[in-house]
């Protein structure tokens, strides 16, 4: 396979697909990964399942911010913003934009639920959400003027641990809340609903539960596009957990087509939960592996080229051991997948994107500036691959992400043509010198 680097072959602008969930601090504020957030320039931090499990009673969730639903929603004393204020402040100080989920964290307890029942008064719930936005964007209740842009209504309502009501009840909650927020704050982006995803639509899955996700999404879009129940949708958010980046690509194409077919051609498609998921694996250690890092690199590269407007990896909070592949749960030091995100960001920071070809199981991302070229290549395969690089640059430095190296410089190539060998499940980043 050949990679030809030419400045004239300009590609579409880089997209914020390298976002994360939560972080950079833990619920007790004793662990802080802000320096790594800054290094990787994470564009978004989505606030959902924030500091599970121990901090779930203090952060972000409606019942945390507004603990007594019978209280007066117009009274600042009814709100408890303290922990969420500090958490969001840390995110912003780390150079990342909060993506605020209005709702509740998942409740996996099979015996009973506490907070994921439909609100007994949707109009009042919407007023509470309105005051949360006002607190962070208009300074209400000794608040801030952060100018947060994205507010997501709920998460996975088609998933029983996340919503005990009917879909009609959720559709109505969305309609009431989205309309109220857009009337009061026309400049923010309102959307939802963190769909479980479209596995059945693209992978031939026959399980009725997975099929129901697709039906739910289509019914939702039909509901909010109908004249009598119309509601704004600035973005539609969805999820996928898989070991195959082809599934991510197929779902991205399906989601864009579904939105367009319902008239939401300007609504953003946001993949705000994704991660490496291997059937029958438990404990989450595999998400910190080199193979997971190659998966992350390929997925980020492909998301840049797919009909997705933004994406957020689940999860960056250190104590969420099962899903945090980015940091060590004991030392908070970066793991291999973090360096895959760093490689993507280095290409993004280096210059303007240029077109490169993918092939032979390799996926590539490149940029160009007056200083030369940057190139990332992911080999998410169980066998070695080779690639020939052609450019007008005289020298390239090579940085390797593999079992022995964490994106460290491992060599260089001179000349405008050279052949690069990638071992199985590895990532390389190359940077030229003008």
User: Where residue 400 sits, what CATH number does that domain have?
Assistant: 2.60.40.1180
Report the residue count for the chain. Answer: 434
The whole-angstrom separation of Cα 113 and Cα 164 is: 8
The pLDDT of residue 108 is 87
Domain membership of residue 49 (yes or no) is yes
Segments forming the whole domain that contains residue 120: 15-350
The whole-angstrom separation of Cα 35 and Cα 32 is: 8
Q: What pTM value is reported for the model? A: 0.97
Q: Are 252 and 374 members of one domain?
A: no
CB 88 within 8 A of CB 143: no
Q: What are phi and psi of 150, to 5 degrees?
A: -110, 130
Q: Are 333 and 372 members of one domain?
A: no
Domain membership of residue 1 (yes or no) is no
Q: How many domains does the chain have?
A: 2
CB 236 within 8 A of CB 155: no
Name the residue among 73, 51, 75 with its Cα closest to residue 61.
51
The CATH number of residue 184's host domain is 3.20.20.80
Q: Which of 350, 377, 400 is the last residue of a domain?
A: 350
Q: Are 181 and 245 members of one domain?
A: yes
The whole-angstrom separation of Cα 122 and Cα 51 is: 26
Determine the distance from the C-alpha atom of residue 83 to the mean position of all C-alpha atoms in its chain, rounded to a whole number: 23
Domain membership of residue 290 (yes or no) is yes
Domain membership of residue 420 (yes or no) is yes
Mean pLDDT by 10 residues, the chain (434 residues): 95 98 93 97 97 81 97 98 97 98 92 93 98 98 98 98 97 98 98 96 84 97 98 98 96 97 98 95 92 98 98 92 92 97 98 96 97 97 97 95 98 93 98 84
The whole-angstrom separation of Cα 210 and Cα 239 is: 12
Domain membership of residue 4 (yes or no) is no
The pLDDT of residue 194 is 98
Name the residue among 380, 366, 375 with its Cα closest to residue 424.
380
The pLDDT of residue 393 is 92
Residue 61's CB: how many other CB atoms inside 10 A?
22
Domain membership of residue 3 (yes or no) is no
The pLDDT of residue 258 is 98
């Amino acid at each position: 396979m050949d990679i030809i680097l030419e400045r004239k072959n300009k590609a579409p602008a880089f997209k914020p697909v390298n976002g994360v969930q939560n972080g950079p601090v833990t619920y007790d504020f004793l662990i802080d990964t802000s320096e790594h957030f800054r290094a990787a320039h994470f564009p978004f931090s989505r606030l959902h399942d924030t500091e599970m499990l121990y901090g779930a009673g203090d952060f972000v969730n409606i019942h945390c911010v507004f603990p007594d639903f019978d209280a007066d929603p117009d009274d600042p004393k009814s709100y408890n913003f303290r922990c969420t204020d500090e958490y969001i402040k840390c995110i912003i100080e780390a150079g990342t934009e909060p993506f605020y989920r209005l709702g509740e964290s998942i409740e996996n307890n099979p015996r009973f639920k506490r907070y994921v029942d439909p609100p007994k008064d949707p109009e009042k719930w919407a007023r509470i959400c309105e005051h949360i936005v006002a607190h962070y964007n208009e300074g209400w209740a000794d608040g801030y003027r952060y100018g947060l842009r994205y507010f997501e209504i709920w998460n996975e309502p088609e998933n029983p641990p996340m919503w005990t009501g009917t879909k009609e009840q959720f559709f109505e909650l969305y309609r009431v809340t989205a309309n109220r927020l857009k009337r009061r704050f026309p400049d923010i982006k309102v959307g939802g609903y963190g769909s479980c995803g479209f596995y059945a639509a693209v992978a031939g899955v026959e399980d009725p539960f997975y099929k129901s996700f697709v039906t739910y999404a289509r019914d939702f879009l039909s509901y909010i596009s109908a004249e009598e129940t119309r509601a704004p949708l600035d973005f539609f958010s969805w999820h996928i957990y898989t070991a195959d980046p082809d599934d991510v690509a197929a779902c991205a194409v399906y989601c864009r087509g579904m939105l367009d077919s319902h008239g939401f051609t300007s609504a953003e498609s946001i993949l705000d939960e994704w991660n490496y998921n291997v059937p029958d694996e438990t404990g989450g250690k595999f998400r910190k592996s080199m193979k997971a890092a190659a998966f992350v690199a390929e997925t980020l590269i492909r998301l840049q080229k797919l009909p997705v407007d933004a994406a957020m990896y689940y999860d960056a909070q250190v104590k969420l051991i099962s899903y945090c592949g980015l940091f060590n749960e004991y030392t908070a030091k970066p793991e291999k997948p973090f360096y895959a995100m760093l490689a993507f960001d280095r290409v993004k920071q280096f210059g303007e994107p240029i077109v490169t070809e993918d092939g032979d199981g390799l996926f590539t991302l490149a940029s160009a500036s007056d200083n030369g070229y940057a190139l990332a290549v992911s080999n998410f395969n169980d066998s070695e691959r080779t690639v020939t690089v052609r450019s007008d640059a005289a020298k390239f430095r090579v940085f390797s992400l593999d079992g022995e190296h964490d994106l460290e410089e491992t060599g260089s190539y001179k000349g405008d043509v050279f052949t690069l060998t990638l071992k199985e499940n590895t990532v390389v980043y190359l940077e030229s010198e003008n």
